[in-house]
Amino acid sequence: MAGNKSLNAAIKAKNNEFYTRLEDIENELKYYNEHFKGKVVLCNCDDPRVSNFFHYFSYNFEKLGIKKLITTCYKSQERDLFSMNKSNKAIYLIYEGDKNGKNVPDLEEIGIHQFKGDGDFRSYECIELLKQADIVVTNPPFSLFREYVAQLIEFDKKFLIIGNQNAIHYKEIFPLVKKNEIWTGYTYPKLFRIPDNADGKSIKVIDGIKYQQFGNICWYTNLDIKKRHENLILYKNYNELDNPRYDNFDAIECCPTTNIPCDYDGLMGVPITFFDKYNPEQFEIIGILNHGCDSEYDLAKPILHGKEKFTRIIIRRKQQTTIPMAAEPIEEFKKE
């Protein structure tokens, strides 16, 4: 997909100037309202003066019952979404709710503080702010996703962040997925604002604003959500046509996920998109078929009929998930 190629090129070039639209934040965050009451929220990869994350949380501060909102900025002191990080200093904002009764965040209600350093999320100053936070919500730099997640895990933070769906098979991320320490959210943002002078493929212009279009961006979280406890309905029976066995590993192919059989208890290989429907109470994650050498969980290459397939996740059913046979009609409703 062109969107995926754009993301891969961006990662290689370490281009991290992709900014999240307010509507994409709203579409995902509406499922998490109960998690924010009484909590300190940190957005530590944003220019807080123009960030849509800051906008969302500050304007919904009282509705969500947030205790404190902290947003940080990397090297930018200009009121410009794309300041190119030219400043040597950075700032962070603290908002603790409406004080003057206007029910909107005013400048006099927002505490503006200057970092001594550059505001990098790995800096001592930003780590001190991270320690104060209960939940971290942001769009971290694509090229630093592994390092960013590692820091969240190290400090035992709850989070809701945006990343490449393919990060699931990263050797640093997959062990967290397997141990149910990270999972995907509800929605899949596709458009991100980019600088006006940006060029390349998969760019859309909407109302004079440039956006980069991506194919497989998702939200990652460790906040418990309803869909994580919903069973995937299985309605197909095992058959060799839809479920061939891998050439080099004792598991059957189940791609697309609709081909997961309801009557098979052995190992099954599913695509990464399976995680949109993954319920840890229904399935167990065994390992991954990727390169066969990335980590202890990388079991083999996914080879089928002599051809290497895309990454497959190896799973096994935990419980019976067949659809019960239709019951005999109740006597009074039988047709005469």
Question: Count of CB atoms within 10 A of residue 303's CB?
Answer: 15
Q: pLDDT class for 9, splitting at 50, 70, 90?
A: very low
User: Is pLDDT above 50 for 280?
Assistant: yes
Class of residue 182 by CB neighbours under 10 A (exposed 0-12, middle 13-18, buried 19+): buried
CA distances from 282 to 210, 232, 288 (A): 42, 8, 18
* Least confident interval from 130-139, 170-179, 196-205: 196-205
pLDDT digits over 128-170, tens only?
Answer: 999 999 999 999 988 899 999 999 999 999 999 999 999 999 9
The pTM for the full model equals 0.85
Please state, in angstroms and rounded to a whole number, the distance separating the CA atoms of residues 52 and 93: 14
Q: What is the pLDDT of residue 89?
A: 67
Please state, in angstroms and rounded to a whole number, the distance separating the CA atoms of residues 4 and 202: 10
CB 265 within 8 A of CB 316: yes
Residue range 105-119: mean pLDDT, rounded: 85
What residues pair up with 204 in beta bridges, in sequence order? Answer: 211
Question: Count of CB atoms within 10 A of residue 295's CB?
Answer: 16
Q: Which residue has the higher pLDDT, 195 or 2?
A: 195
Helix, strand or coil, per DSSP, at residue 234: strand
Q: pLDDT class for 10, splitting at 50, 70, 90?
A: very low
Q: What is the pLDDT of residue 196?
A: 81
First-to-final CA distance of the chain:
57
Mean pLDDT in the chain?
86
Peptide bond into 256 cis (omega under 30): yes
Q: What is the pLDDT of residue 282?
A: 96
